[in-house]
Amino acid sequence: MDKRRHAIIQRKVINFDKFDPAAVMCAWDDCERPGYELYKVPTRRGVQTMTYVFCTERHRQYWIAAGQGPETAARNQGRVHGMLPPGHRPTL
């Protein structure tokens, strides 16, 4: 069995709307790392499409499990904010 893996190339998301372009920060609550193209989540709010970026797959999954943003977190039916969904939780 060949254990080689393909390289995963991560590119930071850059905001060019500012005078001084800078990396977009991770959309998870208290994370201050830059977000990457690999971990984008597009969402639709009416006719507007917003894209959230994250630094890791884990932070992306936290955000998705929390109900895609704080405005829907109240409808999570007992799910704790910051819990990973089944299949992404570490096994002991």
pLDDT at residue 73, as a whole number: 46
Ordered by start, the domain boundaries in the chain are 14-75
pLDDT band at 10 (very low <50, low <70, confident <90, very high): confident
Report residue 29 as tokens.
Answer: 């609550």
CA distance 74 to 56: 24
pTM score = 0.70
pLDDT at residue 79, as a whole number: 52
